[in-house]
């Protein structure tokens, strides 16, 4: 039996509880989830690419065991649709927090559909308790010495405190 493979792309800098919410719910749709850590050349990262991959693997392990989902963390720096195809994905998973996300994501879906009509995008709206969390805002709060305990997994908080 063929396993349904999804691709969840992002910078994950840092990994937030919002990301984990989307991942948990994506596990109900796919048998295998490829988490693609993208390189965004215009952003100054909080964590190295390697550190983000290690942190992701750490937080994904218990989710995989609980949901019986296989995970793979991969790097990509080109088009997301190329990375999704390369890893055998049929679904692209995208989280939505609000209408701003929706408007941007709809544009991306249109472009991706022209480039990769074989891939389908699935939107997962954020749960109310994490809807306000944005990695960009978490990064800014952390850089200014604010408390991000409520926004990130414990392992991410500990990594930030060591940095």
Helix axes 49-67, 17-26, angle to 10 degrees: 40
pTM of the complete model: 0.94
Residue 41 in this model has a pLDDT that exceeds 80: no
The pLDDT value given to residue 12: 95
In the CATH scheme, what is the code of domain 5-162? 3.40.50.620
- Cβ-based neighbours of 58, under 8 Å, separated by 6 or more: 155
pLDDT band at 160 (very low <50, low <70, confident <90, very high): confident
Question: Within 13 A of 143's CA, how many CA atoms are on the CB side?
Answer: 12
CB atoms within 10 A of CB 95: 22
101: which 2 tokens? 């996300």
pLDDT band at 44 (very low <50, low <70, confident <90, very high): confident
CB atoms within 10 A of CB 55: 23
CA distances 130 to 21, 27, 49, 87, 133, Å, are: 8, 18, 24, 29, 6
The pLDDT value given to residue 72: 97
User: Which sequence spans correspond to the domains of the chain?
Assistant: 5-162
pLDDT band at 162 (very low <50, low <70, confident <90, very high): confident
pLDDT tens-digit readout, 116-153: 999 999 999 999 999 999 999 999 999 899 999 999 99
Residue 21 in this model has a pLDDT that exceeds 90: yes
For residues 81 and 116, is the Cβ–Cβ distance under 8 A?
yes
Lowest mean pLDDT among 13-17, 37-41, 107-111: 37-41
Residue 42 in this model has a pLDDT that exceeds 90: no
pLDDT band at 2 (very low <50, low <70, confident <90, very high): confident
Q: What is the 3-state secondary structure (H, E, C) of the chain?
A: CCCCEEEEEECCCCCCHHHHHHHHHHCCCCCEEEEEEECCCCCCCCCCHHHHHHHHHHHHHHHHHHHCCEEEEEEECCCHHHHHHHCCCCEEEEEECCHHHHHHHHHHHHHHHHHCCCCEEEEEECCHHHCCCCHHHHHHHHHCCCCCCCCCCHHHHHHHHHC
């Amino acid at each position: 039996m063929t396993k349904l493979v999804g691709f969840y792309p992002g910078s994950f800098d840092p990994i937030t509880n919002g990301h984990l919410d989307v991942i948990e719910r994506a596990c109900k749709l796919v048998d295998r989830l490829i988490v693609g850590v993208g390189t965004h050349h215009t952003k100054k990262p909080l964590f190295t690419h390697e550190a983000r991959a290690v942190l992701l693997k750490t937080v994904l392990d218990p989710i995989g065991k609980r949901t019986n989902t296989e995970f793979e963390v991969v790097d990509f720096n080109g088009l997301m649709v190329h990375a999704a195809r390369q890893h055998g994905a049929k679904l692209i998973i995208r989280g939505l927090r609000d209408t701003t996300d929706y408007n941007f994501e709809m544009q991306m879906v249109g472009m991706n559909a022209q480039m990769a009509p074989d891939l389908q995008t699935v939107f997962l709206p954020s749960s109310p308790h994490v809807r306000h969390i944005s990695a960009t805002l978490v990064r800014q709060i952390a850089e200014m010495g604010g408390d991000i305990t409520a926004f990130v997994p414990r392992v991410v908080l500990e990594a930030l405190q060591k940095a």
